[in-house]
Amino acid sequence: MKIDTLRLTAEEALGLIERKEASGAELHRAYLDAIAERDGELHCYLRTVEAAEGEGVPIALKDVISTKGVETTAGSRILEGYVPVFDATVAARCRTAGLPTIGKTNTDEFAMGSSTENSAYGPTHNPWDPTRVPGGSGGGTAAAVSAGLAPWGLGSDTGGSIKQPSALCGNVGLRPTYGTVSRFGVVAFASSLDQIGPVAKNVRDCARLYAIVAGKDPADSTTVDVPEVVLPEGESLAGVRIGVPKEMNEAEGIEPGVTAAVQRAIELARELGAEVGECELPRSVEYGLACYYLIAPAEASSNLARYDGVRYGLRADAEGYYEMVERTRDAGFGDEPKRRIMLGTYALSAGYYDAYYGQAQKVRTLIAREHAAAFERFDVLVSPTSPTVAFRLGEKAADPLAMYLSDLLTIPSCMAGLPGLNVPCGLSEGLPVGLQLIGPQLSENTLFKAGHALERALGFDPVPERLR
Amino acid sequence: MGFARAATRFWKDEHVAITREEVLHVARLARLELTDDEVERLTGELSAILEAVSKVSELDLADVPPTSHPLELVNAWAEDEPHESLPLDDVFANAPAREGDLFKVPPTA
């Protein structure tokens, strides 16, 4: 049978397999065919995997996830040709679950960016409008799921790299509670923030994939025990208390079309029986971005010290050792990692540590406390995921501070280690708008339930109009 | 310096000047051999970004404890049992240069 991957959800693909209407290998082939047809324009994949391993639903993996025997570059020249000799725990769990890898998806270099334009291998294009960015850093996975080039995929999120691309591409992305998914074998950016999470066409698929990858891992000592995942079913929001943080919904820079779509979704939540009330997160929003852009670069400057040309990756020619290390790093890192390494090194250096890094760590405490206070009254907080719809390629590429603002609304909850779900809630200017649902730590089941009910009521069509 | 400051209250608008010498010093700490063009560009960019993130200094947080980690985890213990490590050929599979069972590098002196 001819499999049309464009609309196929993971659950539907699983149905095909269970009814023996298609095998895992046939599905895998169908996705490779779709990639051959549509990925020339979009560039979601850095490389595909020809051999289908496993009899389950195929999956796309962001190229920060180590895959044994399959090149893994994190979108960087410094890792060009690097072939891991072991699987990341999440890749191993997908393998154990029988999910054949379709390929490795494009990412901003070391997951640093909000547009996927920082990939050393060229940008990914948004399937809704190829002149626009898919968001980032996980633009490859998000665009692939929207364009029917993968039924689901894994991304990584430090300050918004799963939620924001899902918002810009019109699909469902979960940044799970910090510690619920192992980071072992995933290229590190900022270790106190990095989380792996699922991207899918709908909330149930997202929950299914989360159930496969989540759980304690002896190889990552920051992982925790995870409550059993409940696949969402109902359409009611009765008894769910939804908070609308004023600052997150009225922040400077949120486009009117985004506000309108989010307001409609909030109204709908009320109609579905939710108790909706206003709340405040004043300092989380006002100071979150500045806090993040000290802590994340500081941790990145430390994590990226390992790229020294000694054990793996690029090595530049030089007479002496230190010269070799410095040349390798200059030749191998692109502009954004260099900017963040420099910023982080400065913020951690003698004389500046307390004023920058130390102060940012205290702001982080404030952010966590503000969210904890809001969750005494509410089960879920809602806001736009991204202040804007997908912007044009090149529009913000030369202005780092403008680019950093893309993550204004995703960052605060990341600082507090909270789970966040993006659910598409409508269109503005013909482009998807994302609704962000934030919950307390380990409240994924609540987010799935609320997201699923809203998704059913909203009736958003996740297939880009130009591909229908 | 070429990029327009995003006019917004989420960044602080206070002049922080980073000198060329400071950029070179930090680049040395970070082991980055920057080109002259990069040093010039980063001098401007880092000044602008540091200005923006200095916003955290507006708050008086003398009594607030720092957060280094989002979870309150203390001591994740593992059994102290020997297990197999990667075979050496795997360890060296991606090495730019190997000599016997060692990573080969240029001289440090």
The letter for the amino acid at A43 is: H
One digit per residue, pLDDT tens: chain B, 109 residues? 223 344 456 777 666 679 999 999 999 999 999 999 999 999 999 999 999 999 999 999 999 999 998 988 888 888 899 989 999 999 999 999 999 999 999 999 7
Q: Is residue A343 part of a domain?
A: no
What's residue B5's pLDDT? Answer: 44
**Domain spanning B1-60: CATH 3.40.50.300:** no
What's residue B77's pLDDT? Answer: 87
Indicate the pLDDT class of residue A47, thresholds 50, 70 and 90. very high
Neighbours of B19 (CB within 10 A): 10
Single pTM value for the model: 0.96
Give pLDDT tens digits for A450-464: 999 999 999 999 999
* Least confident among A108-112, A181-185, A233-237, B15-19: B15-19
Q: Is residue A356 part of a domain?
A: no
Q: Is residue A324 part of a domain?
A: no
Q: Which helix (H) or strand (E) segment is A446 a member of?
A: helix A444-458
The C-alpha atoms of residue A194 and residue A161 are separated, in whole angstroms, by 10
Q: How far is B15 from chain A (nearest CA, A)?
A: 15
User: Cα–Cα distances in Å, from A59 out to A104, A153, A218?
Assistant: 9, 5, 24
Indicate the pLDDT class of residue A407, thresholds 50, 70 and 90. very high
The C-alpha atoms of residue A268 and residue A438 are separated, in whole angstroms, by 17
What's residue B4's pLDDT? Answer: 37
**Mean pLDDT across chain A, nearest whole number?**
97
Domain residue limits, chain B? 1-60
Mean pLDDT to the nearest integer, A283-291: 96
* Least confident among A243-252, A347-356, B33-42, B67-76: B67-76
Q: Is residue A408 part of a domain?
A: yes
The letter for the amino acid at A254 is: I
Residue of A nearest to B102 (CA): A311
* Residue range(s) defining the domain that contains residue A270: 10-281+368-467
Q: Is residue A333 part of a domain?
A: no
The C-alpha atoms of residue A49 and residue A43 are separated, in whole angstroms, by 15
Neighbours of A161 (CB within 10 A): 36
Residue A330 pLDDT > 70, yes or no? yes
What's residue B14's pLDDT? Answer: 64
Contact criterion met (CB < 8 Å) for A323 and B27 = no
What's residue B13's pLDDT? Answer: 64
pLDDT > 90: percent of chain A = 98
Contact criterion met (CB < 8 Å) for A401 and B49 = yes
Q: Is residue A405 part of a domain?
A: yes
Give pLDDT tens digits for A83-130: 999 999 999 999 999 999 999 999 999 999 999 999 999 999 999 999
Q: Is residue A56 part of a domain?
A: yes
**Cα A424 off chain centre by:** 14
What's residue B6's pLDDT? Answer: 45
Q: How far is A310 from chain B (nearest CA, A)?
A: 7
Q: Please identify among residues 82-141 of chain A the ones whose CB lies closer than 8 Å to any CB of chain B.
A: 82-83, 85-86
Contact criterion met (CB < 8 Å) for A311 and B109 = no
What's the number of domains chain A is made of? Answer: 1
Residue A161 pLDDT > 80, yes or no? yes
What is the count of residue pairs from A and B with beta carbons less than 8 Å apart? 209
Instruction: Yes or no: say if A57 and A13 are a contact pair by the CB < 8 Å rule.
Output: yes
Q: Is residue A190 part of a domain?
A: yes
Q: What CATH code is carried by the domain that includes residue A168?
A: 3.90.1300.10
Helix A335-348 vs helix B20-29: angle between axes, to the nearest 10 degrees?
90
Q: How far is A11 from chain B (nearest CA, A)?
A: 33
